[in-house]
Amino acid sequence: MIITGTSILAFPLVYIISCWRLLVPGRQQQAYSPDDLKIFGFFHPYCSGGGGGERVLWKMIQFLQQYNKSIVIYTIDPPDTDEAKLRQDASRRFDVQIDQPVTLISLEEYKDFLLPSPYLSLILESFGTMKLARQALIRHQPDVFCDTTGCAFTFCVAHWMLPATSKILAYVHYPTISTDMMLWEWKQRGVARKTWKTLVKLVYYWMFAILYGMVGSLADLVMVNSTWTYNHIARLWRLSKHVHIVYPPCRVPSTTNDEISSNDKSKINSKTTTTTTTRQNTIVSIGQFRPEKDHPLQVKSLAKLLELYPEHRGKVKLLLIGSCRNNGDQERVDNLKKMVQELKLEDAVDFSINPPYSELQDSMYKASIGIHTMRQEHFGIGIVEMMAAGLLTIAHNSGGPKTDIVEHGVTGFLATTAEEYAQVIHQALQQKNPEEMRQKAQQAATRFSDLQFDISLEKVLSEASYINKQPDDKKED
């Protein structure tokens, strides 16, 4: 991405518009009712992806359609994308049924706006999302602009281009910048290496954090996915008065009859109980093959396990399940396979790329252990799904898994280094009574079910007058 005069001027513009919004509250006090907010436009360029963020997107769409809301998705998928097939994919991948059509606004010709920048990446990539949002709103203006991908700088564009009665809604999975990120940069460099370049970089982060906080405060309603994310967003977006924790929807069997039928329950119970004694010594990993997921740490952990505890050699396998969004993801998979060969683990590691939900589910019910290695993971949908499937789950000792999901030694395990992962894997494999932890983990996972997501979403949106108290079909009853 090339630095231009336009990009240099963009951020003073962000500052001015943000200040205007925050100092002139009259715009926020426009009277409105749920009936005024008919069209919800989702800024989600990679809506055809297969990650947890896409499942949140489709669950929100499913929920809003119950209230007779029209849905628009701004995407970089081609103009000839089959909308019906996209909904079918949501059902196949996420077990989310979308009955009503959605409107796709293709921005494929502008997808280069999202290309990563080799320098000043925070600023220039944020500017890229602003340019893409401008093209999106030129083509279609919704009543509620919804960002579900963490592109807070698009709020500035939406505020500038949309009528005063429009609303800006955000579901934040992960802050673009955080104090943890700045501390990590500082700690990564020894005292002798803390040069002026390091200080300049920290000042750059600090200035970006101020801008990020200002544009974030333009949102009328903010939902975040975990306590960890809430703490960071509340600190950065200090002028946002409406920030709510809404845990993301996970494919978790509920204990209530309202969510699943008794027939489904018996099927689920049979999977989670009768297969307990026949579970294989397989370690399952679930997650997109993105760099931050740190799949190499999983492979290294397996190698360390076999080094420290050679009695497991030939008896334990690692199964990496995930989706590939693009060539970059595929390249990471290829690199992982090379690492497996270098460590001579070919017989101990398998890959499952873009599997259907049914296959993923079967893999979880047959395995014994689940592993997740992302540092400062914002939440961890895959972790919850592994716990719900009765896996002895091991997550990174940070972020959402630590604050919201896993209680170490009770509902799962937490680790940081390859050696720590190896030690807790060994501990899990040697447990005399794994059933107790499995059951506690399954019970804990019900807090993050689809039903609980709908309940939380209904509470937040109805209190903000974005929807009526009841879906339209129930009102007619």
Residue whose token pair is 């204990």: 255
Q: What is the mean pLDDT of residues 358-387?
A: 92
Residue 24 has pLDDT above 50, yes or no: no
46 pLDDT exceeds 60?
yes
Read off the tokens for 38.
Answer: 């008919």
For residue 299, is pLDDT > 70? yes
- pLDDT confidence of residue 473: 58
> What is d(CA 374, CA 265) in angstroms, rounded to the nearest whole number?
32
Is the pLDDT at 307 greater than 90, yes or no? yes
Query: Average of pLDDT values for 331-350?
Result: 96
Under CATH, what is the fold of the domain 5-249+452-467? Rossmann fold (3.40.50)
Say how far residue 296 (Cα) sits from the centre of its chain. 20
Say yes or no to pLDDT of 288 above 70: yes
The winner for highest mean pLDDT among 124-138, 191-205, 263-277 is: 124-138
Cα–Cα distance list, 212 to 152, 241, 321 (Å): 7, 16, 34
Separation CA 156–CA 17 (nearest Å): 7
Own/partner contacts of 22-26, CB < 8 Å, gap of 24 or more, are 22/214, 22/217, 22/239
Least confident of 176-185, 239-248, 261-270: 261-270
pLDDT at residue 66 tops 70: yes
Looking at the chain, the whole-number percentage of residues with pLDDT higher than 70 is: 84
Common-topology check for domains 5-249+452-467 and 262-447: yes
Please, which pLDDT band fits residue 3 given cuts at 50, 70 and 90?
very low
Checking if the pLDDT of 265 tops 80, the result is no
Mean pLDDT value of segment 453-459: 97
Confidence of residue 263 (pLDDT cuts 50, 70, 90): very low
pLDDT of residue 372: 97
Structure-model confidence comparison of residues 276 and 324, the more confident one: 324
Higher pLDDT, 231 or 325: 231
Average pLDDT over residues 452-466: 96
Percent of the chain with pLDDT over 90: 64
pLDDT of residue 96: 94
Mean pLDDT of 471-477: 58
Interval 187-212 mean pLDDT: 74
pLDDT band at 181 (very low <50, low <70, confident <90, very high): low
Q: What is the pLDDT of residues 87-111, one digit of tens each?
A: 999 998 888 999 999 999 999 999 9
- Please check the confidence at residue 229 and state whether its pLDDT lies above 80: yes
Neighbours of 477 (CB within 10 A): 6
Question: What pLDDT does 261 receive?
Answer: 38
**pLDDT reading at 243 higher than 80:** yes
**CB-side neighbour CA atoms (13 Å) of 306:** 17
Q: Is the pLDDT of residue 411 over 90?
A: yes
Q: Given a cut of 90, is residue 295 above it in pLDDT? A: yes
Q: What is the pLDDT of residue 184?
A: 62
Alpha carbon of residue 175 to chain centroid: 11
Pairing of strands 70-75, 317-322: unpaired
C-alpha span between 406 and 24 (Å, rounded): 43
Domain 262-447 superfamily per CATH = Glycogen Phosphorylase B; (3.40.50.2000)
Q: What is the mean pLDDT of residues 267-290?
A: 72
Could you list the beta-strand ranges (E) of 37-94: 39-43, 70-75
Give me the residue spans of the domains in the chain: 5-249+452-467, 262-447
* DSSP H helix total and E strand total for the chain: 18, 13
| Chain mean pLDDT for the chain | 86
3-state secondary structure of 331: helix
Higher pLDDT, 246 or 14: 246
Which ranges of 80-195 would DSSP assign to H, the alpha helix? Answer: 83-94, 121-139, 154-161, 179-187
Q: Which residues in 378-407 are b (16+ Cβ under 10 Å) and which e? A: bbbbbbbbbbbbbbbbbbbbbbbbbebbbe
Does pLDDT of 353 surpass 50? Answer: yes
| Alpha-carbon span 334 to 118, nearest angstrom | 23
Q: Are 282 and 317 in contact (CB under 8 A)?
A: yes
Q: Given CA atoms 249, 252, 253, 256 in this order, what sign does their dihedral have? A: negative
What does the chain come to in residues? 477
In the predicted structure, residue 470 carries a pLDDT above the cut 60:
yes
Grade residue 266 by pLDDT with cuts at 50, 70 and 90.
Answer: very low
Instruction: List Cα–Cα distances, 4 to 9, 107, 127, 168, 226, in angstroms.
Output: 9, 22, 11, 28, 37
Give the pLDDT score at 463.
95
The CA angle 412-416-417, to the nearest 5 degrees, is 125
Q: Is the pLDDT of residue 425 over 50?
A: yes
Q: Using 50, 70 and 90 to split pLDDT, how confident is the model at 1? A: very low
Q: How far is CA 332 from CA 287, 289, 290, 377, 436, in A?
A: 13, 7, 8, 19, 37
- Region of poorest pLDDT, from 257-261, 389-393, 412-416: 257-261
